[in-house]
Amino acid sequence: MIHLKITILGSESTEIQFSILSRSHPECRDYWDGNWLACNIKLCVSGVNTSFSANLRTDEFKSFLDGLIALARYQSNSTGLYSMEPYVDLTCKVKAPGKLEWSGHVYSRSDTFELSFTSDQSLLPQIIKELEDLLSVFPVIGEPNE
């Protein structure tokens, strides 16, 4: 079984981890159905430790990767991971030299978790590598206008 993780570490022991388990619909080869991923989101923030399942999309992770690469190259000062289904709304901004500010929400089926934390910009290469590894195993299928 393939098990890939994207981990965002922040101040005060904050951790958001996306574990990607499989394609949700491996038989589908079109953009709209074939890009769903079965994931588990682990959240450790403000004294809360929880995990829950979510369906996220490869194109959402690709957009996040592109934005983080632009941040790392100083071509942008913000990006985010925004899911089509209401699971993740996470923005990352360059706050000061070497510092990133993360804010947004993560939604389980029963709870909403508000996020606001900082992290060191030196963590970007690891997050970028994890996203590249994910997309090499589960590339975006097709185009939205197909």
Domains of the chain: 4-137 (2.30.31)
pTM: 0.95
The closest of 85, 103, 91, 90 to 38, measured between CA atoms, is: 85
Q: What is the pLDDT along the chain (146 residues), one digit of tens a residue?
A: 567 999 999 988 899 999 999 999 999 999 999 999 999 999 999 888 999 999 999 999 999 999 999 999 989 999 999 999 999 999 999 998 899 999 999 999 899 999 999 999 999 999 999 999 999 999 999 999 87
Give the CA angle between residues 77, 111, 47 to the nearest 5°: 75
Neighbours of 15 (CB within 10 A): 14
